[in-house]
Amino acid sequence: MIKTYFYNHAENAMYHDVDLSEKDVLLASPDNLLWIDVYDCTPSDLRYIGEVFDFHPLAIEDCLQPNPRAKVDHYEDYNFFVFHSLVYNEESEDDEITSIELDVFLGPNYIVTIHPVALSAVGQVARVSRRSSLLMDRGPDYLLYSIIDNIVDDYIPITDRLGERIDDLEDEIFASAPEEVNEEMLALRRTILMMRKVLLPQRRIFANVNGRYSFVIREENRPYYEDVVDHLDRILDSIETYRDLLSGSMDTYYSIVTVRTNEIIRVLTIVSTIMIPLTFITGLFGMNVNIPLQQNPYYFWYILGGMGLLALLMLQLFRRNRWI
């Protein structure tokens, strides 16, 4: 599906579903802005967009294949970006967090967004653009900021929820069943790793090196990108903190499991140690040979009492050595 949004600066008006064959006429004025949003499309649709704007075949190929890392590629008169939005479903039986790729072509007065399914971050900007020119009258870099800002805002509730789950996990370690705690820790670990995998490369795209970004940003729009970077930094700081907390919780959990296992092994060892001489006695007196006092009517009770006394003496010895 291909959606088009065109801002005519001279008329200060928005138009939708424009004819892309008139692209050169629409973009004749550098103050105009054309946004093309492509999703749930076929390879032929992408190649058509590539022909209209003369995009490099390698960039179109990147759109057709999944890219696990965010990046920016510089071409002669446009930049190609790869971003990732996150979808969080805590009740999912498979991976509770997945990423959706967003490919962006950013030109001097146009922007093309490509994604496999509808994204709420893009949809919010599209809804505003259908009603007014509020987001498209500041240039393509501001429109890109608006989309990325929505994507970053979607990270925040996911991060907050991870913090709550880690807090709950610290309490569950001492109370819940080991299988449940182990599954929760592994799920949190996978989620945190996925978020770091998405956020770290994305943060580098907006890195300000010596006062310059990796792509052209209008001076009046710089504060907005600085705000995005600040949000990404705070989210990454939280993720790093959660990773450390989770690592500490895992160490505590495995220490508790080890202690419990050692306690069980110690009890079983003591029981086995006590049973060894008792088994020897019963085996000795169970031999099919003549044994002294065999005719005594209290013969069985003497043996049983001796075995009980031996067990008590061994328990006393274990307590004295603080083995139990």
pTM: 0.80
CA 306 to chain centroid: 64
Residue 34 and residue 7: Cα distance in Å, rounded? 6
DSSP 54-67: T--HHHHHHHHS--
Is there a contact between 34 and 78 (Cβ–Cβ < 8 Å)? no
Beta strand ranges found along 9-78 (DSSP E) = 13-16, 33-39, 71-74
Q: How far apart are CA 132 and CA 235, in angstroms?
A: 31
Q: Which domains, ranges and CATH numbers included, belong to the chain?
A: 2-257 (3.30.460.20), 263-320 (1.20.58.340)
Phi, psi of 6 (to 5 degrees): -125, 130
The one-digit pLDDT tens for each residue of the chain (324 residues) are 889 999 998 888 889 888 888 888 888 898 999 999 998 888 888 999 999 999 999 999 999 898 888 999 999 889 999 999 999 888 877 788 999 999 999 999 999 999 999 899 999 999 998 888 888 888 999 999 999 999 999 999 999 999 999 988 888 887 767 778 888 888 899 999 999 999 999 988 887 644 566 677 888 888 898 899 899 999 999 999 999 999 888 888 888 888 888 888 888 888 888 888 888 888 777 777 677 767 777 777 888 888 888 888 888 887 887 777
Place of tokens 């949000």: 231
In degrees, to the nearest 5, what angle opens at C-alpha 80 toward C-alphas 99 and 232? Answer: 50
